[in-house]
Amino acid sequence: MIRWRDPRASLTAGAAIGAAGVAAALLAGGPALYIGAIAGFFTAMLAAGSLLLASGRPGERGSMARGVRWMAGGSAVWAVGVAVRPFTDSSSFMVSFADLLVLLGTVLIGGGALIAGGRRPPALVVLRHVTDSYLCAAALFVVGWVVALRHVYDNTADPALFTFSMLPPMLALLVTCTVVPSMVTGRPVALPLGVAGLCVLAATTTFTMAGAVARLDGGGQPGWTLALAPAAFLLLTAVPWARPREVTAWPVVGSLLALLPLALVGVATVTLVVHLSSGGQEPPVAGVVLIAASMVLLLLLRLFVLSGVNLRLRTLLSRAEKQLRDLAESTGDVVLICDHDGTVHEIGAGVEETYGYRPEQIVGGSIFDYIHPEDVPQIQSSLRAMGLDDDDDEAGPGACLIACRVRAADGTWRPTESVATRHATGEDQILVTTRDISDEEALRNQVAHLTFHDGITGLPNRAYFEERTREVLGGSGHVAVIFLDLDGFTSVNDSVGHASGDYLLGQAARRLRGAVRPDDTLARWGGDEFAVLIETGGDAQLAVDLAERLLRAVSQEPFRVADRDVALTGSVGVAFAEDDLPAGDLIRNADVAMARAKELGGRRVEVFAAQMHADVVRRLELAADLQRALIEHQFAIEYQPVVDLATSRVTAVEALVRWCRGSVFVPPDQFLGPAEDTGLIVPLGEWILREACREVAAWRAESWDIGLSLNLSARQITAPRFVQAVEEALAESGLPASALTLEVIEEMLVEDADETVRRLSELRALGVRLAIDDFGTGYASLAFLRQLPVDMIKIDPSFVSGLGQDDTLTLLTRTIVRLGHDLGLIVVAEGIERPEQLDLLREMGCTRGQGFLVARPMAARGVDSLMRTSLTV
């Protein structure tokens, strides 16, 4: 809806009143020239006002606003020219002036339409548009000359007057033809305004042409020609206020406009030829001949320019094609040209270096003679698809990537990648660039192999084994996994080096590969662990038998490494697949079974049972609770007295750790092993050392000459700060070093003997006493009694338990006591539980003893009651 305050309301009302007035005047039979002048002036000024208002709207800026203002100015000038036109009949000068004003207004309107289009084409495109406009205007003039203007010229006495009269309409026609291509190729949003301006230009051309003919004939101008311009200006008045719409550009229109000049020239040529052949023998008119000659010269000039451009493009194309070939051949690619049937027309010299063929051997033949037969059908299909015409609905692609195998001159098949494109010349040929990717393919295969295979043994690796296990479990229920670990392999790396250790792993892999079946998957799981996947099913005994063969393969004969024989054993675990058991759980079960075999001493095969996993989970939970208990101080110390068997007096106490896990007492043999495995035994042992030293130092401060005994683990001795921790505990508590006795078992003296002896020697240098616990159960004790200054030996309870019942054990115990006396060592008997055991030990001359018969372990306050007393034993 248009509101009354909107400027479009007054414009619409004025246009309606003006149109009604013009129509009434014409119907009443008034002078057509004056009525046309009044109507033209009124509508042109109306259009000028409408355009000026539209150019000042918010958001209207840039080239669009400038073009609208130009068209407004042109409409105003045009209005002045048409207004004075009726009053210039008596003066030729005034006639020229009025026509010049109309022509100037026409040029301004056309320029505004070009500016509103917003396009700034290159100079060559502008020149082409100008020449096309001239050709169109000249062709239309020639057609008009043949049809009507030649008769007007014949009736005119003065040729100069004819030329002068025809000049304004011809210039208006030239401006109209100039605007058309720029309007079509301009911005779509400016197209409605351009069409309205074009209508004004066409109406002005018709209006001025009709006026010129009427002036030359001496007759009146037709009324309909006078009405064209007002109608066009009314359209121009309304267009700026129309609702803007998206206008879709039509590319085909631009192509047709490019052919329009040639079409009009052709029509003009045919019209002129028909006129001349029909018998028209009028003498040639110089102006018409000049215009026709200019058309021919322009066409020849355009043809020359097009030929030059075409030659330049062909030169650039040839140069680009040569550069492409040089570039391709410099990168090792082979460039060839063939047709869609595969016949080779041209090939680069690089084919000899890459594939060993001379170019003349290939040209004229078919490329399919050199392509692997399995790849030929696919390539033929691709080439046929590229051969389809562009105007076909199923036109093939312009380029395609081809992967195939090409036979080289030495008979080998080389993997290649080729890019085939339609030849740029437009001929029925294909340009193919071929690259030999043998090295890339070998590298890809090597990377894929290394991704899923072990670099040391050449066996499949963990990733491959896991993926293969998942695949096999999805198709069969009879699946088993075997894990094998080489016992003692760490010592091989430490003794002969990692390179020799890797060589030993390669030997082990070859032995294991010879023991498995062809259908089974052998992989290196990691480190010194191997895994076997039994894929073909069978009963459980089949997997167990294979596990035994694997164990024998690595254990029967020593490995030859670094000019020495290395004997290793293996720990083997077997797990069987169950319904809906994931691959990860099956592999884990085999690993748990292998760990169980290793715990039991190695060189054995263990089949997974459910309680094994439960034990592992329980040990993990226990390790976590141990760490929490250490932080929350849940541990306590009990002391077991050590008495002098001759006087029954307490001479020392042995510190024993106790743990209440919540309200449940956990036996030491259940948590000391996990503490040793996880390394928590080191901070726990330091805490026991500090607390026991502090407690015993307090007892000694009350004049009780009592000593302290502590058991050491292997991890404690090898801990970096072990000796320093003992020294700090003694210093903090004030306990003399001679009052502290540290006990080690015989196995600790055998494993890593040099390091253990060195650490214990450092302790002995501090003044700390040393004792060998569980003496008699090892096999190297006597040798280390000579190397290490030991103060005490403790007889293992297994010997004491047989006193008085087993003559052999009694004899061995007597021998140990005598040995200790001869070496000047204190002998302590552990595990005294019966009176006859005590009597025999006293009779043998054993110095000290401990056990339930003597005294049970007790808290610190229980030890306080024993101060300065003797036990009745």
Bridge partner residues of 480 (DSSP): 534, 576
Distance in angstroms (rounded) separating the CA atoms of residues 52 and 66: 10
Q: Please name the residues in contact with 408: beta carbons below 8 A apart, sequence gap of 6 or more.
A: 355, 356, 414
Q: Which of 16-25, 588-597, 647-656, 665-674 comes out lowest in average pLDDT?
A: 16-25
Structure-block tokens of residue 479: 């699946």
Give the model's confidence band at 393: pLDDT under 50 very low, under 70 low, under 90 confident, else very high. Answer: very low
Cα 461 off chain centre by: 25
Give the model's confidence band at 3: pLDDT under 50 very low, under 70 low, under 90 confident, else very high. Answer: very low
CB atoms closer than 10 angstroms to residue 525: 23
Distance in angstroms (rounded) separating the CA atoms of residues 476 and 218: 111
Mean pLDDT on 556-563:
86
**DSSP per position, 588-599:** HHHHHHHHHHHH
Give the model's confidence band at 93: pLDDT under 50 very low, under 70 low, under 90 confident, else very high. Answer: very low
Cα atoms found within 13 Å of the Cα of residue 665, Cβ hemisphere only: 5
Q: Which residue has the higher pLDDT, 820 or 163?
A: 820
pLDDT for 548: 92
pLDDT for 209: 82
Give the model's confidence band at 74: pLDDT under 50 very low, under 70 low, under 90 confident, else very high. Answer: confident
pLDDT in tens, 741-772: 999 887 776 666 677 788 888 888 889 999 88
Distance in angstroms (rounded) separating the CA atoms of residues 88 and 62: 40
- The residue behind tokens 């003039």 is 141
Distance in angstroms (rounded) separating the CA atoms of residues 737 and 729: 10
pLDDT for 1: 43
Q: Phi-psi category of 458—alpha, beta or left, where left has phi over 0 and alpha has psi -120 to 50?
A: left
pLDDT in tens, 466-482: 999 988 887 666 788 99
Strands 740-745 and 707-711: parallel
pLDDT in tens, 775-784: 876 655 565 6
CB 457 within 8 A of CB 507: no
Distance in angstroms (rounded) separating the CA atoms of residues 22 and 212: 23
Distance in angstroms (rounded) separating the CA atoms of residues 77 and 82: 9
pLDDT for 252: 59
Give the model's confidence band at 324: pLDDT under 50 very low, under 70 low, under 90 confident, else very high. Answer: low
Residue type, 619: R
Find the radius of gyration of the CA atoms of the chain.
57
Strands 399-407 and 521-526: unpaired
Mean pLDDT on 724-734:
91
**DSSP per position, 737-801:** GGGEEEEEEHHHHHTTHHHHHHHHHHHHHHT-EEEEEEETSSSSHHHHHHHS---EEEE-HHHHT
Give the model's confidence band at 46: pLDDT under 50 very low, under 70 low, under 90 confident, else very high. Answer: confident
- Our CA dihedral for 779, 780, 783, 789, rounded to 10 degrees, sits at -120
CB atoms closer than 10 angstroms to residue 393: 6
Q: Which of 164-168, 573-577, 625-629, 667-671 comes out lowest in average pLDDT?
A: 164-168
pLDDT for 346: 86
With a cut of 90, say whether residue 510 has pLDDT above it: yes
Average pLDDT, the chain: 80
Closest CA to 855 of 701, 674, 639: 639
Mean pLDDT on 216-226:
71
Closest CA to 608 of 579, 582, 578: 578
pLDDT for 782: 61
Mean pLDDT on 320-327:
69
pLDDT for 59: 59
Distance in angstroms (rounded) separating the CA atoms of residues 163 and 160: 5
804-809 own/partner pairs: CB under 8 Å, 24+ apart: 804/834, 804/836, 804/837, 804/840
CB 368 within 8 A of CB 342: yes
Residue type, 298: L
Q: Which residue has the higher pLDDT, 61 or 491?
A: 491
pLDDT for 26: 47
Q: Which of 13-17, 127-131, 480-484, 855-859 comes out lowest in average pLDDT?
A: 13-17
Distance in angstroms (rounded) separating the CA atoms of residues 373 and 376: 5
- Our CA dihedral for 662, 664, 670, 672, rounded to 10 degrees, sits at 40
pLDDT for 499: 87
Mean pLDDT on 96-120:
77
